[in-house]
Amino acid sequence: MNARAVAAAGLCLLLFTGCRSAQSPPLAETETDTAAIADDTLRLLYWQAPTILNPHFSSGFKDAEASRITLEPLASFDADGNMVLFLAAEEPSLDNGGVAADGTAVTWKLKEGITWSDGTPFTAEDVAFTYEFIVNPEVATVNAGTYELIESVEAVDDTTVRITFKEPNPAWYLVFTGTEGMVLPKHMFVDYNGPNGREAPANLMPVGTGPYRVTSFTPGDVVIYEANPNYRDADQLAFSRVELKGGGDATSAARAVLQTGDVDYAYNLQVEAAVLEQLEAAGQGQVVTNFGSLVERIIFNFTDPNQATADGETSSVEFPHLMFSDRLVRQAINLAIDRDTIATQLYGPTGQPTTNFLVAPDPFASSNTSYDYDPAAAEALLDAAGWIDSNNDGTRDKDGQEMQIVFQTSVNPVRQKTQEIVKQSLEQVGIGVELKSIDASVYFSGDPASRETLERFSADLQMFATGNTNPDPGSYMQTYTCDEIAQKANNWSGSNYARYCNPEFDALWQQAAATLNPEERQDLFIQMNDLLINEAAVLPIVHRADASGVSNRLTGIDLTPWDLGTWNIAEWSRP
């Protein structure tokens, strides 16, 4: 019984028929420089360089992408929502007894004979330990929230693992699958299951079950992999060596694969549409787009980044943000943003304006929301909120406080141009804006010691893109629950960087987490989306395609919204 049938039985979310296919088009054959491809090295260029190879310690896709080459989940999903097995031997279902009839447990059968890249046998104990590691508050992983619904994970025997949930769970397939489901080797982390978790050598030199294993890693620069001789299908791998080069910028990465042909694959080409079109005309490669769940958004800091607690914590829930605690101010900023100009001028066919936080699978995209670009209405709302320019300096003020904000994002040409458009729009309605850009290797690092990460959010506004990495949006919508607030008490490991807290939203999420009826569950997620939008708690800007540059020499690329670009790297080849 496959994932579609489970959905029909009421224990899965839906039939996934709304998922948009991201299958890459056939790649054209061209004349190439044979000297450049004489060896069997696969060359990847990630302008956002990975800094750690444990995906449970980073909020950045760049680190998870590099980790996914060597680490694997039990299963994942293709672009059509079908389950694809990795470490699991079969898909759990009602028919085979894998899914409990009451939705409170799932039992996975694991493939036999799998070993870690160092030769150690892979067993169900590794899965159980990975759960213990992820949810340990002393370890403070970024994925802990996804696993909170679990009561226990038991290794029944070497090839059987049983997951019991605290409540009936219609989304049993949310854990140990896809981006957030990569399994860690117990023998490499058992001595680091505590505050020293980030000190584990395997965070930089991982031991995995995947097709390639790391031979060297310079954080922020280069990862070198070799074919994993212990991989279950080692004789089918097309490359003996993989080189993942980090650094540079998105435009140079696009040029390297589309124009010069120096690399085989370039990740996350967030480049202006006109530039991509010009580079693609060189004929060395193609831009392969994957319209999934990715939404470029601006989020408010609901806490004051300029005040500190007695122990030095900034952006603390002790100090609500003076401006953004007022819904009128948030709604005014929403009306002042010109989404159409941003989408048309900067993204072209790789992006479309949106006002929805949840956009995929398609049945979850609310039809109840809309957006307007109306500076006059924005000014009226700011007036009503008491923010006026009393001293005629061009910036609104209230009770002696000037309406000056800091707006931060990662270094990227498209994002910096988006910042400029937003800055110009906000200044037209009397809001002073200081722009700040942070290197992606720092911004998305998840490093609790750094004040420059998106988790610490030491600014008033910030912008980035993410979305649900599973056909079930439960974990993604959990982002805005009160318990997920990133703060010093949880080592800034929560996913609620905005520090928004609304009991009404939490109640909807709790109800969805325990509802087995697919239609009711879908409606609850739409209600959550609409609440966030009506409250202007978050400002979605563009529904973005995940754009990759693929050499005409490379075959086997099969992008999916529900996993990372490297998820099927074992199938890539260069004939």
For residue 315, give the CATH number of its domain.
3.10.105.10
Q: Side chain identity at 495, as an amino acid letter?
A: S
Q: What are phi and psi of 85, to 5 degrees?
A: -85, 140
Report the residue count for the chain: 575
The predicted structure's pLDDT at residue 441? 86
Task: Provide the whole-model pTM.
Answer: 0.85
pLDDT by residue (tens digit) across 149-196? 999 999 999 999 999 999 999 999 999 999 999 999 999 999 999 999
* Residues 505 and 572 both lie in one domain: no
The radius of gyration computed from the CA coordinates of the chain, to the nearest angstrom, equals: 23
Q: Side chain identity at 211, as an amino acid letter?
A: P
* Residues 556 and 436 both lie in one domain: no
By three-state DSSP, how is residue 7 classified? helix
- E-assigned strands of 275-392? 285-290, 295-300, 351-353
**Domain extent at residue 261:** 37-70+210-290+546-575
* Residues 365 and 483 both lie in one domain: yes
- Answer whether the bond into residue 168 is a cis peptide, omega within 30°: no
Q: What is the pLDDT along the chain (575 residues), one digit of tens a residue?
A: 344 333 333 333 333 323 333 333 343 434 444 444 447 999 999 998 999 999 999 888 999 999 999 999 999 999 999 999 999 999 999 999 999 999 999 999 999 999 999 999 999 999 999 999 999 999 999 999 999 999 999 999 999 999 999 999 999 999 999 999 999 999 999 999 999 999 999 999 999 999 999 999 999 999 999 999 999 999 999 999 999 999 889 999 999 999 999 999 999 999 998 999 999 999 999 999 988 999 999 999 999 999 999 999 999 999 999 999 999 999 999 999 999 999 999 999 899 999 999 999 999 999 999 999 999 999 999 999 999 999 999 999 999 999 999 999 999 999 999 999 999 999 999 999 999 999 988 999 888 889 999 999 999 999 999 999 999 999 999 999 999 999 999 999 999 999 999 999 999 999 999 898 999 999 999 999 999 999 999 999 999 998 999 999 999 999 999 999 999 999 999 98
Structure tokens that stand for 536 in this block: 């202007």
* Residues 319 and 385 both lie in one domain: yes
By three-state DSSP, how is residue 410 classified? strand
**494, 454 contact by CB (below 8 A):** no
Q: What whole-number distance in Å separates Cα of residue 537 and Cα of residue 331?
A: 9
User: Is residue 186 in some structural domain?
Assistant: no
Taken in order 441, 443, 445, 450, the sign of the CA dihedral is positive
The predicted structure's pLDDT at residue 11? 34
**Burial tier of 101 (Cβ tally within 10 Å: 0-12, 13-18, 19+):** exposed
* Residues 460 and 328 both lie in one domain: yes
Identify the CATH number of the domain in which residue 62 sits: 3.40.190.10
User: Is residue 44 in some structural domain?
Assistant: yes
Q: Largest Cα–Cα distance of the chain, in whole Å?
A: 75
Residue with tokens 């990759």: 548
Taken in order 173, 177, 179, 183, the sign of the CA dihedral is positive
* Residues 399 and 486 both lie in one domain: yes
* Residues 270 and 280 both lie in one domain: yes
pLDDT by residue (tens digit) across 83-133? 999 999 999 999 999 999 999 999 999 999 999 999 999 999 999 999 999
Residues 6+ apart with CB under 8 A from 310: none
Structure tokens that stand for 180 in this block: 């957030």
Burial state string for 64-90 with b = 16 or more CB within 10 A and e = fewer than 16? bbbbbbbbbbbbbbbbbbbbbbbbbee
